[in-house]
Amino acid sequence: MGQVMPLSGRSFEVFVHITSFPTPYGVGDLGPTAYHLIEILKELGFRHWQILPLHSTSDDKGNSPYSSPSTLQEIIYRYLLLSRLGKALGLLR
């Protein structure tokens, strides 16, 4: 995995959850629309894209996105967010 660049000074952030992107499947994904958003954010000077965790929820945990019943959460986080999106945002080399 690439090296994370340290942040310095003030920066802009946007909160857009992946499920809000339009797709033919009825729920958003990390497809072309997500990468288009990244390009727009870079052009506008944004340095952060905040999202909720990417996994299923469960009734017994109050349907909180921070209490996942899934063991794949770490794999999703490390690969998708840090590798692909980190490189697209220019945070990883």
Please give the mean pLDDT across all residues of the chain. 73
Tokens of 65: 């996105």
- At residue 84 the predicted structure's pLDDT band, cuts being 50, 70 and 90, is low
Residues 6+ apart with CB under 8 A from 51: 15, 16, 17, 18, 81
| pTM listed for this prediction | 0.52
Higher per-residue confidence, 81 vs 47: 47
Mean pLDDT of 40-47: 87
Is the CB of residue 30 less than 8 Å from the CB of residue 84? yes
Q: Is the pLDDT of residue 1 over 60?
A: no
| The one-letter amino acid at 28 | G
Domain ranges of the chain: 12-88
pLDDT digits (tens, 9 = 90+) for 20-40: 888 887 777 888 888 898 899
Question: What does DSSP assign to residue 49?
Answer: E
Is the CB of residue 17 less than 8 Å from the CB of residue 51? yes
Q: Is the pLDDT of residue 56 over 70?
A: no
